[in-house]
Amino acid sequence: MNQKTITTIIFVRHAQSVFGSDDRNRPLSDAGLEDRKIVAETLRDRKIDAFLSSSYKRSMDTIRPSAELRNMDIRTDERFRERQCGDFTSDSLARRWADFSWAEENGECLASVQGRNMEALRDVLQDYAGQTVVIGTHGTALSTILNFYNPRFGLQDFLRIVSWMPYVIELTFDGDKLISVKELNHVDKEISK
């Protein structure tokens, strides 16, 4: 294993946000703003080479204090955005996880979410090879990445982490091969509506 090919990706699922109709610009709740400190503390002693994020406000705001402590900018990548939600019904969640090609009316299927997130991650692994990168992300987006590397990661695993806001998980790669996964921290929160 060549150290120059070892790349560490630290995904940070956003802290608790205020639910609203404008999904892209949802702010963090008061608790979410406070919980950013947990992310900063988790990353405090880490050498970080770059901060990337979904273009959604809640993801950027969750990692912003960590980037500011290092006088670093956050680069956004639209491909890391959350799933486009559609018309939710009581069986939507189960159907979506049973068939990645299924989407509710006006929604985005998990195959699409996974495809664009994996495309973005592959670019990060190439562009930042041998470095440590923090990526601000979302629960569904992150779950599809975890499912890509472990197809057994399914609905029950998603439900286990759905209320973890923030959630910090480290994926280590040798080239483009995943070699380890380590959960670093999480805060269990009610999902605000």
| Tens-place pLDDT, residues 123-155 | 999 999 999 999 999 999 999 999 999 999 999
Note down the domain range covering 65. 3-188
| pLDDT tens for each residue of 60-87 | 999 999 999 999 999 999 999 887 676 6
95 within domain boundaries = yes
| pLDDT tens for each residue of 16-50 | 999 876 778 899 999 999 999 999 999 999 999 99
- What are the backbone dihedrals phi and psi of residue 16, each rounded to the nearest 5 degrees, phi first? -60, 135
Name the H helices within 44-152.
57-69, 92-98, 110-127, 139-149
148 within domain boundaries = yes
- What are the backbone dihedrals phi and psi of residue 113, each rounded to the nearest 5 degrees, phi first? -60, -50
List CB contacts of 25: < 8 A, sequence separation 6 or more: 56, 57
Domain count, the chain: 1
119 within domain boundaries = yes
193 within domain boundaries = no
CATH number at residue 161: 3.40.50.1240
Kindly indicate the confidence band of residue 88, based on its pLDDT and cuts at 50, 70 and 90.
Answer: low
Q: Are 25 and 33 in contact (CB under 8 A)?
A: no
pLDDT at residue 184 tops 80: yes
166 within domain boundaries = yes
Cα distance between the two ends of the chain: 47
112 within domain boundaries = yes
105 within domain boundaries = yes
107 within domain boundaries = yes
Q: What is the pTM of this model?
A: 0.92
